Each structure stands twice: as structure tokens, then as C-alpha cells.
């Protein structure tokens, strides 16, 4: 399909471009028309992602379409090629959402595992003093991470900020340290 023949619902690529030009010139009617069309195109794109199982709910598709609409509202005066801008922003929004959602789900899963393992697998004769000795014998920043996580109840992003480290590195060190403590308790 050639560029001129590209269709978006009831609008061709050329019509979208002309609407953008008139909206930039100050036509409120054209701005409203292109804004509604941008949101509709974005929703259709994200709904297809939902249909293929890449999004968990139709609400996610709605939220992402709204993000595109807001982004368009902020940037429309600087957009030169509406088609290229729209494709790029929709793709990048989806990728960023997908990464955030994946890391959030992984984080929640690991949190649940830690809670289960700490509740279900406490050794009989569990002694806080032994654990404290082990934690006190850890080198910095391992001991700090454990204390901040359990004693202060801090989240990984808060610990990372306080230690001026990457959140992923803090998580990795935390889980490795937990394994080390577990081995020492056995």
C-alpha cells in the first residue's frame, strides 16, 4: 500500500496531514476532529494488542490511548509528519507499558515467594539471635539492604535511592544475600 493510499478509518493519511496543518493554524474544529481521530486510531492499535494477549485488560488499552491523546495535545504544534509521529509514539508507549507491567508482575511474584518462603519454611527452633549474628556478619551494603528491607520496611526503589545504586542491582544483591543467609541457617 502506498503512502497516499494509507487509510485510517474514515481518513486518509493525506486528510490527517491536512487536519493537522489546519489545527496548527488555530482551527478549533479541526483540532477537535484530529484529536478524536488520533485517540480512535490509538485505541484501535492498543485494542489489537489486547486481542492478541499483550495487554491484560481493555482498561489498559483505554489508558494507553488516553496517553497518546495527551501526548498529541502537548506536542501537536511540533509534529511534522503525523503518520510517523503516531506510529512511533504508539509503539514506544506500548513497549514502555509492557516493560513496566512485566517488571511489576515479576516484582509482585518475587515478593509473594519471599513471604511464602519466610512464613512456610521457618526452621523449627528459629532463633532471632542467630539471624542477627548472620546479618551483623554480612559486609556492607548487604547488611544495610537486609536491614532497610526488613527492619525499616523500605521498598527496593527506596533502598536503591538511599544507597545511590541501581534498583535492579539492589534486588539482585538482596536475593543473593537471602540465599546466603538461608544456607548459613541450614
Question: pLDDT tens, 135-164?
Answer: 888 888 888 888 888 887 888 888 888 888
pLDDT of residue 88: 92
Mean pLDDT of all residues in the chain?
80
pLDDT of residue 1: 40
Question: pLDDT tens, 41-63?
Answer: 999 999 998 898 888 888 888 98
Weakest mean pLDDT among 8-17, 38-47, 71-80, 85-94: 8-17
For 21, the grid coordinates are 496543518
* pLDDT at residue 166 is higher than 50: yes
Q: Quick one: which of 70, 86, 71 has its CA closest to 13?
A: 86
More confident residue, 120 or 71: 71
Where does CATH 1.10.1740 sit in the chain?
7-103
Residue linked to cell 546466603: 180
Where does CATH 1.10.10.10 sit in the chain?
123-185
Backbone angles phi and psi of 161, in degrees to 5: -65, -45
DSSP 122: P
pLDDT of residue 6: 46
> Which CATH number among 2.60.40, 1.10.3470, 1.10.1740, 1.10.10 corresponds to the domain 7-103?
1.10.1740
> Which CATH number among 1.10.10.10, 3.30.160.340, 3.10.520.10, 3.30.56.10 corresponds to the domain 123-185?
1.10.10.10
* Average pLDDT score over residue span 159-171: 87
Give the predicted TM-score (pTM) of the model. 0.50
DSSP 158: H
* Average pLDDT score over residue span 23-46: 88
pLDDT of residue 4: 41
**Helix 28-51 × helix 13-24 angle, to 10°:** 140
* Average pLDDT score over residue span 174-185: 85
Question: pLDDT tens, 91-137?
Answer: 998 888 877 777 665 555 555 555 555 555 554 455 677 878 888 88
Amino acid at each position: 500500500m502506498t503512502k497516499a493510499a494509507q487509510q485510517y478509518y474514515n481518513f486518509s493519511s493525506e486528510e490527517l496531514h491536512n487536519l493537522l496543518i489546519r489545527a496548527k493554524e488555530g482551527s478549533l474544529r479541526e483540532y477537535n476532529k484530529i484529536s478524536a481521530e488520533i485517540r480512535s486510531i490509538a485505541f484501535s492499535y492498543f485494542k489489537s494488542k489486547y486481542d492478541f494477549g499483550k495487554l491484560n485488560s481493555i482498561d489498559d488499552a483505554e489508558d494507553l490511548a488516553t496517553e497518546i491523546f495527551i501526548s498529541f495535545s502537548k506536542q501537536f504544534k511540533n509534529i511534522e509528519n503525523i503518520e510517523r509521529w503516531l506510529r512511533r509514539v504508539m509503539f514506544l508507549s506500548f513497549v514502555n507499558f509492557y516493560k513496566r507491567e512485566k517488571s511489576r508482575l515479576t516484582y509482585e511474584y518475587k515478593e509473594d515467594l519471599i513471604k511464602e518462603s519466610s512464613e512456610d519454611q521457618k526452621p523449627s527452633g528459629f532463633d532471632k539471635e542467630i539471624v542477627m549474628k548472620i546479618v551483623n556478619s554480612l559486609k556492607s551494603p548487604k547488611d544495610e539492604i537486609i536491614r532497610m528491607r526488613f527492619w525499616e520496611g523500605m521498598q527496593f526503589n527506596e533502598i536503591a535511592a538511599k544507597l545511590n545504586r541501581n534498583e535492579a542491582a539492589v534486588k539482585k544483591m538482596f536475593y543473593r544475600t537471602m540465599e546466603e543467609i538461608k544456607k548459613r541457617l541450614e
